[in-house]
Amino acid sequence: MIRISGLTTKKHKLVYAIIFLFPLILTLIPHQAHAWTGDFQTPSYQSYIEQWDWPRAMSKGYIYNAYSDGDYPPATYPDFDPENTSYIIVQKPTGSTDLIIYFTKSDQDKIIIKSDENGNYITSTRADGLLFYAQIADRPKTFFPNNYYLDASDSNSTTTKIYSIGYPLGSNNIAYDSTYSGRTYNNKIGYTSSDSPISCSPLDFGCWITKAFDGVTDTLKKFGQAMLKPFVWLWIPDTTQIKAQFDDTNAMLIEKLGFLSFPFVFLGDVISAFTNNTLWCTDGNCKIDTGNLFGSNFTIDIMALKNMNSDLYNATVIIMRGVLIMITISAVYHAYMRVIRA
C-alpha cells in the first residue's frame, strides 16, 4: 500500500484533494474549449470564409520578409509569423479558386489577404479600412494601391503606402490535405508542378504506406498539441498581461516613491543603455553627436573611416578585437593564478 507522508487526517486528505483537483478541473475546461474551436480558426476568420465559400482545401506554409515602407508606421504592421500563418484555398461558386492567407500575431491583430479576381496579386483590408497589396511571388515585389507594382529594388517612393512580401513560399513548405487537387491552385498562383500533392496509384504500396505513416504522425502531433495546450494555458504565465500589470505597478511606485525611486530608475536606464544600443550605430551609419561637450558641436563619423580606407578600418577592428580577447585571456589567467595560489 502506498502511504504518502503527512496524509494522515481527513483534513490533510481534503487539502491534498483540493490541491490536485483544482488544477485538474482548470485543465479540463480549456481542453474542451480548444477541442471546440479547432486548431487555428477564429470567429472573424470563419465569418470571412463564409462570404466566399467553404474552403475546398487548406494548407499551411511559411512567408518571409514582410515589411512596410513609406508613411505607414511599420510598428502597426504585424510581422509574418510562420507559426501563425495559414493558407486557405477556397473554391467559389463560379469555379474560380482563391487563395486566402490568414496570419496573426495575436488575437487583436488579424489580417486576411485574399487574391483578386485575376489572381495576380493579393489584397487585404485591415480593420481600419486600409487596403494594401501583396503577392505570392518568387522574388520581392512592391505593390501600390492603384494595382501597379514594381520590384522592390525599383521602389523610390517614400510617400506611397508600400508593402512587400519577399521570398514568400518555398515549394517544400506547403503541406496540403487530402481534399486538395492542386490543379487550379497551380494555374492561378503559378506554383510549379512540384507543389501538387502526390496522388498514389492503386498498386503503389510504398506511397500508401508513406501516406499512412504521415497520417499517423500528423494525428499524434495534433493529439500532443491538443494535450499540451491546456497545460500551457494553465501553468505558463501570460507575459503580456504580467508585463502590462508590472508596468502599471512600476509607474505607480515611481510616482509614489518620488526621489527614492530615482536610483532604481537610473540603474534600469543604465542597463537598458547597454542592451538597447542600436540607435546610433548600424552597419552603414555610425554618427555620434558629442553635443556641446567640448564647447562646440561636432559629430564623430566612424563610418567615414570605412568609406575612405576600408583596409585601415578592417585592420583597426581586427586589432581592437584582438586586444579585447587578450585582455579577457589575461583576466582569466590572473583569476586562475589567484585560485592556484590560494
Partner 1 sequence: MILTFIITSIMKLTELIFSVLPSLPAMPTEIINGTAWIITSIQKMTSLLMMLFNPIIFTACISTILIALNFNYVYQSIMWIIRKIPLLNIK
Order the strands of the 109-115 sheet from edge to edge: 131-134, 122-125, 109-115, 97-106, 85-91, 55-60, 175-176
- For position 260 contacting partner 1 by CB under 8 A, the verdict is yes
Set of cell numbers at residue 239: 507575459
Does 34 engage in binding with partner 1 (CB under 8 A)?
no
Nearest to 165, CA basis, from 181, 183, 189, 198:
189
Beta carbon nearer to partner 1, 209 or 232 = 232
Query: In one letter, which amino acid is 256?
Result: K
Choose which of 131, 242, 304, 312 interacts with partner 1 (CB under 8 A): 242
Please choose, out of 43-51, 52-60, 78-86, 275-283, the segment that lies near partner 1 by the rule CB under 8 A: 275-283
Task: Indicate which single residue of 20, 205, 208, 280 sits in contact with partner 1 (rule: CB under 8 A).
Answer: 280
Q: Which of 281, 304, 312, 315 binds partner 1 (CB under 8 A)?
A: 281
* Contact call for residues 18 and 140 (beta carbons, < 8 A): no
Question: Exposed/middle/buried for 87, CB within 10 Å: 0-12, 13-18, 19+?
Answer: buried
Candidates 92, 183, 221, 334; binder of partner 1 (CB under 8 A) is 334
Q: Position of cell 530615482? A: 262
Site for partner 1 in 2-31 (CB under 8 A): 23, 26
Return the number of the residue (223 or 262) whose C-beta is nearest partner 1.
262
β-pair type (175-176, 85-91): unpaired
Distance CA(295)–CA(169), nearest Å, equals: 56
Give me 221's grid cell: 502531433
Return the SS3 of 177.
Answer: coil
Three-state DSSP string of 198-251:
CCCCCCCHHHHHHHHHHHHHHHHHHHHHHHHHHHHHHHCCCHHHHHHHHHHHHH
> Which listed range, 83-91, 126-134, 195-203, 278-286, lies at the site for partner 1 (CB under 8 A)?
278-286
For partner 1, which is the closer residue by CB, 128 or 255? 255
Binding mask 288-327 for partner 1 (x = CB under 8 A): x--x----------x-------------xx--xx--xx-x
Among 47, 51, 146, 241, binds partner 1 (CB under 8 A): 241
Q: How far apart are the first and last CA of the chain?
A: 54
Give me the least distance between CB of 225 and partner 1, in Å please. Answer: 18
Among 38, 258, 296, 341, interactor with partner 1 by CB under 8 A? 258
Give contact residues for partner 1 (rule: CB under 8 A): 23, 26, 233-238, 241-242, 245-246, 248-249, 252-253, 255-260, 262, 266, 269-270, 273-274, 276-283, 286, 288, 291, 302, 316-317, 320-321, 324-325, 327-328, 331-332, 334-335, 338-339
